[in-house]
Structure 1
Amino acid sequence: MNLTGNMKERNCTTQFLNFETEYPKKYHFRIQNREFRATAVCDPVVITVKDSPPSPVINVLGTLKEKEDLTVTCSAFTPCPNSPPKLIWNLLKDSHNNLEGNTDGTYTAQIQENITLTDKHDGYNITCSATYPLNGGKDNKTAEETRTLSVLYSPKNTTASMSPLGLVSADATVNLTCSSRAKPPVRNFTWFKISTGGPLKVFEGDFYSFNVAEGGVYYCEATNDVGNEASSKVKVTMRDRGFASTSFKWGAILGGIFGIIVIICLVILVWRLKSEGQTPPEPQVQTGARVSTEEPVIKTDPEESIHYSEINFYKMRQGPSSERGPQENTVYAEVRASHTQNQEQTADSSTDLYAQVRKPKTGQLT
């Protein structure tokens, strides 16, 4: 324990070193000079010992608005002026620590920093820590405090977008959208069109939809209580009518050609399917009075020609059979004829000839 100051001036300070939590809470000031002793029993001092140091205090002075200067102060209670706490924060690594006396006789360690606010400081966390030395600097304990800034700023990143993109046809619907970030939020959006006389106000609102009558250049402006900002320009370009007509004609022509090709392919496909599905005719037999016998055609050498002849014999029946009329039988004969080697050949070198001879008969065919 140390006693400092001048008692004659009634200015003295008692300093306790390595104070322990087991020490009593109530203390009385006593003056003792040889046999004389005086104790301030009616005016005790109560000292509460805590295991953890007090947290520092962050003070923000000024308006939290962009482009404004702000003074930030971090202070910590200093119970021992001979061993003040070390203050550190994230605004500046090597900040100078000041020790200031208070009106009540206590001391405060303090650091201070001046900053110019921008929109990036909105939501920024300022952290200040106070480290107290213990046991003559052999040990230490740290307390920390955090303060979040809420900065007002004008609209930022204002953009204008258009849909659909690219060339647009006459009387088509075009949608223009304006977006921005601001604090406080954007109060209103205003759309302008560039004209020969300067910007012309055409609409208010973040979403502007209209039918195109002519091309033009547009931009939007966002406004809040702090300020405003204009977006980049967007250009609405009309599609040439002649180009659209030509494109339509070419589209129709190409579509017709494609359709014709598809039809031709289908016809060829159907023809091939029918050709592959043909089979030779089966022999036919007629019953009753007329009997037909047909021999299948045997394909021989291409130079051969096949001749057919048909002979019908009519025979009159006697009795009741004559009432039905003459009966006929059909007989086919096949004759093969070979051509000479020097004779000109065609794609189908065989020729089929048919001859029919009908002969009536009176009796029953045996």
Structure 2
Amino acid sequence: MHIKEKTLCHFGYICDLNIHDLHYSVTGALCQQWSLWMPQSIVAVGGSCLMVPCRFQIPAEFDATLNNCTPHGLWKKHSEWGNIVFHSAQTDAKNIIKGVMLGNLLNKNCTTIFNSFSAGYDDTYIFRLECAETNPLKYNFLPGVNINHTDTPPKPQLIPMGNIMEGEWARLSCSAPAPCPTLPPSLTWTSRLGGSVESRLQEGVDGLMTMTSTLTFTASLGHHGLMVKCAACYTLQPGGTTKTTQGNLTLNVLYAPKNTVALSNPTGPVPEGRAVTLTCQSDANPPVERYSWYKDISGKETWKANGKTLVLLVSKADSGLYLCEAHNQNGSQRSKAMPLEFESDQSFKMAPYIICGVMVLLYVLTVTVDVYKYKSLSRRLKQIELSLSGKADNTYTNLRMASTSSDYDELQMPRAVPGKSNSHENPNGIGRGRERAAP
């Protein structure tokens, strides 16, 4: 049975084989027959050139035939029966897609550069090798390469080259496709990292070119969470316009535990039998993997337990200094010692506060009573003063009235008529004297 089977030979390239065994295992030797190495797909930037990496192999018996002819490279659109859009022996005026056969076909290199690639040409392209018409060497290499067009260049890819450790040298890589190696994109960093930058054009295992820029710097804790940007600027034609895209990366700096602290709830002296919770807190990246608790006994730290929290039912033996230690893959850090105080007699401890409270209450009551007495006495004194003042005024008025009445009575007394007694006359008074004085 004669069948055609397609398989991957090297580095992801597509190999087109003619084999006879349906379940035959493909090996590297078979791939040296009629085979083609090229990327399965390529993205072309509109307005820029496009390089298609291409290499082929032919059976050994055709090597002499190839070397004794003038080989030509052709590209067909869509399928092996499709239209020829490029012929290496023709001028640009006759080719539908302008370009040049960059590789040497005698060396089995069919790499081609197309001057431009527009959206209307997105399709599959098949490479064909042929010699002069009298030469039997003619072959279509399947399945071909998918070429797609984009007006917006792909964003640069930012990746850290290994772990970024605090205090150590770190490297970031910014890479952008260079579909047109004659006009590769320029890469620009935007960051506050300082350091040094190195750029170069690299060929990948698939033959595609990539522009790569490496930023080397010393990582610090302040860089953690910092956003770094890298912009790729594509020049479409020499002296022409440009297109720019940008990629971002948020730094993840690894560091050992920091700011480790031990906390107690409740705080202060703890009565016997009451539960107290000790909690360890720490900042680390990656997060803390393990917490350990220690008790300081006479200057010697003794392990107590593992865990973020430590719960104790307090007794006199539990009093002392406690500290915790946080661990992650980058290191560890211990907290400062925290005292845990034991309270043996709660009532005894509270006695000074109770006495103080009673004294304050008595003082407040005493002041309140004194103020009340003072106000009451002031009101009484004021009433007495008002009363005395009123009596004095009445006495003075009565005295004046009495004096005036007496004088008036004395001045208005009627004179006695001779020979007639006055019934109102005092026999011992003035009338009697006058009677004796009459002739």
Name the TM-score, length of structure 2 as normaliser: 0.48
Matched, 1:132 2:234: yes
Secondary structure at the aligned position of 1:53 is classed as coil
Q: State the alpha-carbon separation in 1 of the partners of residues 195 and 240 from structure 2.
A: 23
Secondary structure at the aligned position of 1:96 is classed as strand
Matched, 1:53 2:147: no
Q: Which residue of 1 aligns with 2:369?
A: 263
Alpha-carbon distance change, 263 to 212 in structure 1, aligned in 2, over 3 angstroms: farther
Structure 2 counterparts to residues 188-337 of structure 1, below 5 A: 188-202=290-304, 205-206=308-309, 216-224=320-328, 226-235=330-339, 252-253=358-359, 255-273=361-379, 299-300=394-395
Q: State the alpha-carbon separation in 1 of the partners of residues 148 and 139 from structure 2.
A: 19
Alpha-carbon distance change, 184 to 135 in structure 1, aligned in 2, over 3 angstroms: closer
Q: State the alpha-carbon separation in 2 of the partners of residues 45 and 218 from structure 1.
A: 69
**1:155 counterpart letter in structure 2:** P
Write out per-residue CA displacement over residues 137-160 of structure 1, whole angstroms, 9 at most, x where no aligned residue: 421212333344556544322123
Alpha-carbon distance change, 263 to 39 in structure 1, aligned in 2, over 3 angstroms: farther
Q: Which residue of 1 aligns with 2:283?
A: 181
| C-alpha displacement of 1:99 | 1.3
| C-alpha displacement of 1:244 | 8.4
Q: State the alpha-carbon separation in 2 of the partners of residues 22 and 39 from structure 1.
A: 32
Secondary structure at the aligned position of 2:151 is classed as coil
Write out per-residue CA displacement over residues 51-73 of structure 1, whole angstroms, 9 at most, x where no aligned residue: 22233334445356667766543
Alpha-carbon distance change, 81 to 45 in structure 1, aligned in 2, over 3 angstroms: same
Report if aligned partners of 1:88, 1:95 keep a CA contact under 8 Å in 2: no
Alpha-carbon distance change, 230 to 263 in structure 1, aligned in 2, over 3 angstroms: same
Equivalent residue in structure 2 for 1:88, among 156, 171, 188: 188
**1:75 counterpart letter in structure 2:** S
Matched, 1:77 2:174: no
Report if aligned partners of 1:192, 1:201 keep a CA contact under 8 Å in 2: yes
Q: State the alpha-carbon separation in 2 of the partners of residues 11 and 42 from structure 1.
A: 15
Report if aligned partners of 2:292, 2:325 keep a CA contact under 8 Å in 1: yes
Write out per-residue CA displacement over residues 98-151 of structure 1, whole angstroms, 9 at most, x where no aligned residue: 112234443222223456666656545454332221121421212333344556
Q: Which moved more, 1:242-251 or 1:171-180?
A: 242-251
Q: State the alpha-carbon separation in 2 of the partners of residues 32 and 202 from structure 1.
A: 85
RMSD: 5.0
- Count residues with an aligned counterpart: 285
Q: Identical aligned pairs, as a percentage?
A: 27
Q: State the alpha-carbon separation in 2 of the partners of residues 251 and 24 from structure 1.
A: 91
Secondary structure at the aligned position of 2:150 is classed as coil
Q: State the alpha-carbon separation in 2 of the partners of residues 48 and 170 from structure 1.
A: 77
| C-alpha displacement of 1:172 | 11
| C-alpha displacement of 1:198 | 0.8
Matched, 1:145 2:231: no
Secondary structure at the aligned position of 1:49 is classed as strand
Alpha-carbon distance change, 169 to 48 in structure 1, aligned in 2, over 3 angstroms: closer
**1:129 counterpart letter in structure 2:** A
Q: State the alpha-carbon separation in 1 of the partners of residues 336 and 131 from structure 2.
A: 84
Report if aligned partners of 1:175, 1:209 keep a CA contact under 8 Å in 2: yes
Alpha-carbon distance change, 238 to 254 in structure 1, aligned in 2, over 3 angstroms: farther
**1:219 counterpart letter in structure 2:** L
Alpha-carbon distance change, 105 to 264 in structure 1, aligned in 2, over 3 angstroms: closer
Q: State the alpha-carbon separation in 2 of the partners of residues 47 and 136 from structure 1.
A: 23
| C-alpha displacement of 1:232 | 2.3
**Which structure carries more helix by proportion?**
2
Q: State the alpha-carbon separation in 1 of the partners of residues 292 and 368 from structure 2.
A: 55
Report if aligned partners of 2:174, 2:230 keep a CA contact under 8 Å in 1: yes
Alpha-carbon distance change, 60 to 298 in structure 1, aligned in 2, over 3 angstroms: closer
Alpha-carbon distance change, 227 to 10 in structure 1, aligned in 2, over 3 angstroms: closer
Write out per-residue CA displacement over residues 188-225 of structure 1, whole angstroms, 9 at most, x where no aligned residue: 54443333251234565436566585974432222345
Q: State the alpha-carbon separation in 1 of the partners of residues 205 and 237 from structure 2.
A: 28
Write out per-residue CA displacement over residues 301-338 of structure 1, whole angstroms, 9 at most, x where no aligned residue: 6xx9xxxxxxxxxxxxxxxxxxxxxxxxxxxxxxxxxx
Q: Which residue of 2 aligns with 1:329?
A: none
Name the TM-score, length of structure 1 as normaliser: 0.56
**1:300 counterpart letter in structure 2:** T
Alpha-carbon distance change, 53 to 8 in structure 1, aligned in 2, over 3 angstroms: same
| C-alpha displacement of 1:76 | 2.4
**1:17 counterpart letter in structure 2:** N
